[in-house]
Amino acid sequence: MNKRFKIILLQLLTPIVAILFAIALSSVLIVAIGKNPIEVYQTMIEFSLGSADSVGEILFNATPLIFSGLAVALSFKMGLFNIGVEGQYFIGAFFAAFVGFTLSGIPAFIHLPLAILAAMLGGVLWAFVPIYLKVRRGVHEVISTIMLNYIAYSLIHYFIADLFMDRNQKVPEGLGSPLIRTPHFAETALMPKLHGFLSFFGIDLPNSVYLNWFFVIGLLLTVGMYYLLWHTPFGYEIRAVGSNPKASEAAGINPNKVYFKGFLLSGAIAGLIGLSHLLSFYGYMDLDFPKNFGFNGIAVALMGNNNPFGIVLAALLFGFLNRGAEGVQTFMGVPMETIVIMQGIIILSVVVAANILGRYIKRLEKKEA
Amino acid sequence: MGDIMEMLASALRMTIPVLITALGAIYSERSGVTNIGLEGMMMTGAFWGAYGALHYGPVGGFLLAIAMGMLVALIHAVVTVTYRVDQIVSGVAINILAYGLARFFSIALFGMATTSPSVNGLPKIDIPILKNISVLKPIATDISPIIILGILLVFVTYWVLEKTVFGLRLKAVGENPLAADTLGVKVIPYRYLGVIISGAFAGLAGAYLSIEHTHMYVEGMTQGKGFIALAAMIFGNWMPYGSFWASFLFGFAEAISMRVVQSKVVPYQFIKMIPYVLTLLVLAGVVRKAQPPASVGIPYSREGD
């Protein structure tokens, strides 16, 4: 009992140690450019957590990372590495955009869900290729998904810049050229903000904050994912295949079937990543549509130890870091990139710490036996 | 004819950074370590190459870039070989880290996040004999010495892998580390070397982009070339000559894509997809069978845990 407690405590400590390590290393950089790290971190916390709208901004930042972390973690649980979450969310976002700007005149309660479904479909489609190649042709999913990420970038670029570019933009005479973007979506495809709901509780967010219902959907999905993994037969199969495909096959589970279903589900979730930005902040898709949520999801999943609730915490932490980065850049002249560096260090130190911890736990268990 | 040779010359310029990085990747992968951090290592090389060239001249730039590429690779080696962390996770983290570091130092050292001041490249050279044949003039005159070096590295890599004790041991470690270990080959140092050599090559390739190609560092100038190099290595079946032809094919596609922009026959985005689509086809066994080293991606420990 005592040992069990010790192990849980150590597991909780791992991410904290990693964060402290990242803070220490980043401090070296901050000192190197002649700033005081303590002051920087203090500014970061005050700026990020000092007002309701800043907290709203953090939640908005965290929203795509929750979906992304869940998508990565689901494939991790099966022992697969879906590095293609990046491409899947790009394709998903475009599918939603397509529904957004081609349809109009239908009620929001049909249009919006349709856009969301389209995004999931796009993600599934882009997840289908690598898992098909994996199961049927034995192609390693990491390499195929990297290639597919780049194919997705090019394809979306083509769709936005050539095929579906909005050519009816009204650009004032002599004031620049039209933007390379899709047409605006119909109002009915946009996700309402959380502001009205929050004002019931006396929290008033300014209009500049784009926190919307996708955050709530992300939380619901987190609970759903937890339920799926630990309380359904399919979840059991996923975990069984993930911990030992050969043993699970002997126990009557068909790993390939589990891989297929699980990976497509992972793709469906990945398709949702960009929607919080697309259907709320932007209202159209352009060439600047944010990249890298897919890759950051890997960091979030690792930080959260592939546990759905851990992922929410990790996503919030990253949302906080990104928000704080804006603060220290504005008020202290410390480059925002310090935070990107910190994220990279956090991932590396989390995985190394987890490895050291894993060996330690094994030794602990051996000693007992 | 002149046009075609011009085209080949430009294809060759596009080939070199991908080729050098792909050759480096061979060392890492044949030793058993997947390196998807190549993109980050190239980016690091591009940045420090420009910084070094600005202060110590082009040769200094290349040396600094190689050293920094090796340093980043060392992180990958420590994390994956010593701590046996998943190689993909480490590679992804390294790409994120390298991106952040490049931007951070760009602001700190150049005062701009996205570009450096312009730098001088190495003196251009002509290839004797070939330069006198008028048809070959575009590819034999006024070229960067790094182009020659890149092509020489193809032969060097082949020789090292096939003819030297070091190469044979490196490959043994990637094929069957347990057997190699039993025969007294130290697995860990060989894997470290494989990864670090790949970092040196990627750093050199990145510096070629900034010092020789554009004469300045521009953020994002690697444009996924690290991943294309990985694709070229796979397409080339983890072999130097194969990687050369694959890199050339991809360089050629890139050279075409720049011309296609004007002609608009095929959208250039589709030409950009060629390396990735071809690699998928190779992996799927449609073009031919890929044969990765047997133990690539699998961490090694004597205890077998």
Set of chain B residues whose Cβ sits within 8 Å of the Cβ of A348 = 75, 79, 90, 93-94, 97
Closest alpha carbon to B40 in B75, B15, B82, B16: B75
User: Are the beta carbons of A154 and B305 separated by less than 8 Å?
Assistant: no
Which residues, 6 or more positions from A166, have their beta carbon under 8 angstroms from its beta carbon? A178, A179, A181, A182, A183, A184, A284
- Quote the pLDDT of residue A174: 65
Candidate from A223-237, A318-332, B27-41 with smallest mean pLDDT: A318-332
| C-beta of residue B14 within 8 angstroms of C-beta of residue B254 | yes
Q: To the nearest whole number, what is the mean pLDDT of chain B?
A: 89
Q: What number of other Cβ atoms are within 10 A of residue B78's Cβ? A: 16
- Quote the pLDDT of residue B129: 76
Say if A29 falls within a structural domain: no
CA atoms within 13 A on the CB side of A159: 18
| C-beta of residue B65 within 8 angstroms of C-beta of residue B203 | yes
By C-alpha distance, the chain B residue nearest A350 is B85
Q: Pinpoint the alpha helices (H) of chain B.
A: 2-30, 38-77, 87-105, 137-140, 145-163, 165-175, 177-182, 187-207, 225-235, 240-263, 268-272, 274-283
Where do the DSSP E strands lie in chain A? none
- To the nearest whole percent, how much of chain B has pLDDT over 70? 96
CA–CA distances in Å: residue A244 to residues A70, A234, A354, A364: 21, 15, 20, 22
User: Are the beta carbons of A355 and B83 separated by less than 8 Å?
Assistant: yes
| C-beta of residue A123 within 8 angstroms of C-beta of residue A92 | yes
In the structure encoding, which two tokens stand for residue A252, read together? 């009557």
User: Are the beta carbons of A345 and B89 separated by less than 8 Å?
Assistant: no
ipTM of the complex in this document:
0.84
Domain that holds residue A41: 36-167+176-191+207-367
User: Are the beta carbons of B75 and A348 separated by less than 8 Å?
Assistant: yes
Interchain CB contact of B289 with A (< 8 Å): no
Of A139, A338, A347, the CB nearest to B283: A139
Burial class of residue A165 in the structure, from the number of CB atoms within 10 Å of its CB (0-12 exposed, 13-18 middle, 19+ buried): middle
User: Are the beta carbons of B270 and A158 separated by less than 8 Å?
Assistant: yes
Interchain CB contact of B282 with A (< 8 Å): no
User: Are the beta carbons of A157 and B269 separated by less than 8 Å?
Assistant: yes
**Best B29, B38, B283 residue to mutate vs chain A (most A CBs within 10 Å):** B283
Set of chain A residues whose Cβ sits within 8 Å of the Cβ of B99 = 340
Set of chain B residues whose Cβ sits within 8 Å of the Cβ of A139 = 280, 283-284
Q: Pinpoint the alpha helices (H) of A193-292.
A: 195-199, 214-231, 233-243, 245-250, 255-270, 275-276
The confidence band for A172, taking pLDDT boundaries of 50, 70 and 90, is low
- Quote the pLDDT of residue A175: 65
**Best B269, B271, B282, B291 residue to mutate vs chain A (most A CBs within 10 Å):** B269
The whole-angstrom distance between A293's CA and the closest CA on chain B is 12
Of A133, A296, A341, the CB nearest to B104: A341
Q: Which of residues 34-53 of B touch A (CB under 8 A)?
A: 34, 36
**Best A40, A322, A341 residue to mutate vs chain B (most B CBs within 10 Å):** A341
User: Are the beta carbons of A351 and B85 separated by less than 8 Å?
Assistant: yes
| C-beta of residue A133 within 8 angstroms of C-beta of residue A260 | no
- Quote the pLDDT of residue B1: 62
- Residue A18 pLDDT > 90: no
CA–CA distances in Å: residue B300 to residues A143, A349, B72, B193: 21, 20, 21, 15
C-alpha B305/C-alpha B11 separation (Å) is: 47
Q: pLDDT per residue over B259-302, tens digit each?
A: 776 666 778 788 888 888 888 888 887 766 677 888 888 888 87
- Mean pLDDT (whole number) for A96-114: 91
Interchain CB contact of B74 with A (< 8 Å): no
User: Are the beta carbons of A83 and B108 separated by less than 8 Å?
Assistant: no
Which residues, 6 or more positions from A179, have their beta carbon under 8 angstroms from its beta carbon? A166, A169, A286
Q: pLDDT per residue over B189-245, tens digit each?
A: 999 999 999 999 999 999 999 999 999 999 889 888 999 999 899 888 899 999 999
CA–CA distances in Å: residue B91 to residues A128, A298, B18, B51, B84: 24, 11, 18, 24, 13
Candidate from A39-48, A243-252, A348-357, A359-368 with smallest mean pLDDT: A359-368
- Quote the pLDDT of residue A161: 86
C-alpha B274/C-alpha B141 separation (Å) is: 29
- Quote the pLDDT of residue A143: 84
- To the nearest whole percent, how much of chain A has pLDDT over 70? 97
Which residues, 6 or more positions from A145, have their beta carbon under 8 angstroms from its beta carbon? A81, A82, A83, A84, A87, A130
- Residue A368 pLDDT > 70: no
- Quote the pLDDT of residue A261: 95
- Mean pLDDT (whole number) for A9-31: 85
In the structure encoding, which two tokens stand for residue A50, read together? 């000092």
C-alpha A30/C-alpha A43 separation (Å) is: 13
User: Are the beta carbons of A143 and B283 separated by less than 8 Å?
Assistant: yes
Set of chain B residues whose Cβ sits within 8 Å of the Cβ of A355 = 83-85
Q: pLDDT per residue over B191-206, tens digit each?
A: 999 999 999 999 999 9
- Residue B135 pLDDT > 80: no
**Best A31, A305, A334, A347 residue to mutate vs chain B (most B CBs within 10 Å):** A347
- To the nearest whole percent, how much of chain B has pLDDT over 90? 53
- Quote the pLDDT of residue B304: 60
Interchain CB contact of B75 with A (< 8 Å): yes
Say if A5 falls within a structural domain: no
Query: Which of A165-179, B247-261, B281-295 ranks highest by mean pLDDT?
Result: B247-261
Interchain CB contact of B273 with A (< 8 Å): yes
The confidence band for A64, taking pLDDT boundaries of 50, 70 and 90, is very high
Q: pLDDT per residue over A315-330, tens digit each?
A: 999 999 889 888 888 8
User: Are the beta carbons of A150 and B100 separated by less than 8 Å?
Assistant: no
In the structure encoding, which two tokens stand for residue A333, read together? 């002249």
Helix (H, G, I), strand (E, B), or coil: what is residue A277? helix
By C-alpha distance, the chain A residue nearest B113 is A335
C-alpha B192/C-alpha A111 separation (Å) is: 55
Instruction: Give B154 or A244, the one with higher predicted confidence.
Output: B154
- Quote the pLDDT of residue B50: 95
Of B79, B231, B269, the CB nearest to A351: B79
- Quote the pLDDT of residue A155: 94
- Quote the pLDDT of residue B154: 97
User: Residue A130 maps to which CATH number?
Assistant: 1.10.3470
C-alpha A127/C-alpha A272 separation (Å) is: 13
The whole-angstrom distance between A19's CA and the closest CA on chain B is 15
Set of chain B residues whose Cβ sits within 8 Å of the Cβ of A151 = 273, 276-277
Count of H helices and E strands in chain A? 15, 0
- Quote the pLDDT of residue B2: 66
By C-alpha distance, the chain A residue nearest B90 is A348
C-alpha A313/C-alpha A317 separation (Å) is: 6
Say if A143 falls within a structural domain: yes
Tell me how many domains chain A contains: 1
CA–CA distances in Å: residue A249 to residues A113, A148, A184, A201, B143: 38, 29, 50, 52, 58
- Residue A245 pLDDT > 70: yes
DSSP letters, A174-201, are TS----SBPPPPPGGGSPPBSHHHHHTT
- Mean pLDDT (whole number) for B22-36: 95
Q: What is the number of CB-based contacts under 8 A between chain A and chain B?
A: 132
Interchain CB contact of B129 with A (< 8 Å): no
- Mean pLDDT (whole number) for B124-137: 78
- Quote the pLDDT of residue B241: 95
- Quote the pLDDT of residue B43: 96
Q: pLDDT per residue over A292-345, tens digit each?
A: 899 889 889 988 889 999 999 999 999 998 898 888 888 888 888 888 888 888
| C-beta of residue A284 within 8 angstroms of C-beta of residue A183 | yes
Closest alpha carbon to A343 in A16, A19, A45: A19
In the structure encoding, which two tokens stand for residue B254, read together? 């890139």
CA–CA distances in Å: residue B145 to residues B41, B55, B88, B148: 21, 20, 34, 5
